[in-house]
Structure 1
Amino acid sequence: MKTDTCRICGSNKIMDNVRVVDRGHGDAKKDLSVYIQKTDKRFFNKFEKGELKAQICGSCGNVDLSVKNPHELWDAYLKTKSL
């Protein structure tokens, strides 16, 4: 996903690898993530986690999201299709 120019406006004012956080109990920061279930158990299921990172245009405000481990998430997704 990393680019040097904005895909919307063409600007080169790009902020890369920005954390996307949610605030939890006690106002604690937690990286926003996606989870894909890897097992089909009633309890103690295993998940593949992908933390979201953002790339933000400093001119138009466009935001693109990505994860660092797309291959692992894809493999976990394929497993869910066979569960």
Structure 2
Amino acid sequence: MKNDICNACGSSKLMHDMKIVDFGHGNVKNDLSVIVQTTDRAFLNKFEKGKLRAQICGSCGKVDLTVVNPQELWEAYLKNKSI
């Protein structure tokens, strides 16, 4: 994802590796993530979690998202398909 030029407007005003957070109960910051379930249980399911990071253009505002651990998520996805 790390580019030097914005794909939308051609600007070089890019902010890399920006955290995306959700403010939970009591204003606690939690990184926004995607999850892939790795077990098929009624309770205590396990998940592979991938934190999201953003690249943001300071000119037009275009946002590109990337997950920090794509290989682990892919492997969990393949495992989940066989459950």
TM-score between the two structures when normalised by the length of structure 1: 0.96
Q: Which runs of 4+ in 1 moved over 6 A?
A: none
Report the Cα distance in structure 2 between the residues aligned to 1:62 and 1:56, rounded to whole angstroms.
6
Q: Residue 73 of structure 1 aligns with which residue?
A: 73
Structure 2 residues not aligned, in runs of 5+ = none
**What CA distance in whole angstroms lies between the structure 2 residues aligned with 1:72 and 1:2?**
20
Inter-partner Cα distance in structure 2 for 1:59 and 1:32: 24
- The alignment's C-alpha RMSD in Å is 0.7
> What CA deviation, in whole Å up to 9, does each residue of 1:31-66 have, x standing for no partner?
100111011112111110000100000011000000
Question: What is the Cα deviation at residue 68 of structure 1?
Answer: 1.1
Per the alignment, residue 7 of structure 1 pairs with 7
* Equivalent residue, structure 2, for 1:18: 18
Measured in 2, the distance between the counterparts of 1:68 and 1:10 equals: 25
The alignment-based identity, stated in percent, is: 64
TM-score under structure 2 normalisation?
0.96
Distance 1:47 1:7 in 2: 33
Question: Unaligned stretches of 5+ in structure 1?
Answer: none
- Looking at structure 2, the residues matched to 45 and 66 of structure 1 have their Cα atoms a distance apart, in angstroms, of 25
Aligned to 2:58: 58
Q: Give the aligned partner of residue 41 of structure 2.
A: 41
Tell me the distance in 2 between the aligned counterparts of 1:67 and 1:7: 19
